[in-house]
Structure 1
Amino acid sequence: MKNLIYLVLSLFVLTACSNDDNDVIANDVQFTTVGKNTLHGGENIPQSNFVFNNETDWNNFLIQVNAINDVSGTFNETEIDFTAFTVIAVVDEVKTSGSQISIINVMENTNNIQIAKELTIYSTTVISQPFHIIKIPKTNKPIIFN
């Protein structure tokens, strides 16, 4: 009888500790800033989150951000190896005050990549449309923006 109790308890512990497919293990993803600045609002880029996996889409985006000024000239790089990297851009809405948007964290879990961002508003009266562009190691996982 005592052995039966140990057997039942052992089965209970083993099934309670089994690895469930819904378990999520999150890891920080190292990222590199490609560019971080503000647009002037006349570039006609809507508030949006962009994921670039190819050179054509990236180059079209660069044409848009350069519509008024040479904004990409301030980027750390514009030539991206899309076989090795995915580029992520966060563009906020046009504001009537100075502002800055920052990607503060990139986390990878079993099912996706999560991007955490933060907006800072300054007490200046200037039209601004902040953006932050980063690159991460190439991924095919869905990217979720928080």
Structure 2
Amino acid sequence: MIPAAPACLPWHAAYPAPRTVASSISRLDLLGWMKEGKEVGKDYVLIDLRRTDFEGGTIRGSLNLPAQSLYPTIPTLYSVFSQARVSKVIWYCGSSRGRGTRAAGWFAGYLEEQKNGEMESLVLEGGIKGWAAAGDDYTRLMDDYDESKWTE
């Protein structure tokens, strides 16, 4: 069972603070990977951490794993990604300054505990908002893109 934070505290207060600061990846670098033909799910995994603000589209191939339920699932995710030989796990939320950095840090810390130097936990700079605002090259690579959600 997932512990609940008291109503006056943020959701992440129920979990420990990340011990590790994850590296980041720019949207330009990720776009380059996509254009080069690197495969989502094979070469890297994209994880969209949004829950209640999950609207307007998502980067093509992303898994939606809301941050609020992520922490207890990290060992299972690690096992799945390891067996699939995924080398990069990229986390993002709206801006990637809260949920994205927290999730990437938790996962990076878990990788350190497992002494896994082959898999990397990365946070997408600027999050989905930065991606959607960067123009057609980016929005063409979004599933369920709804321009009205990004121009309000």
Higher helix share: 2
| Larger Rg over CA atoms | 1
TM-score (norm 1): 0.23
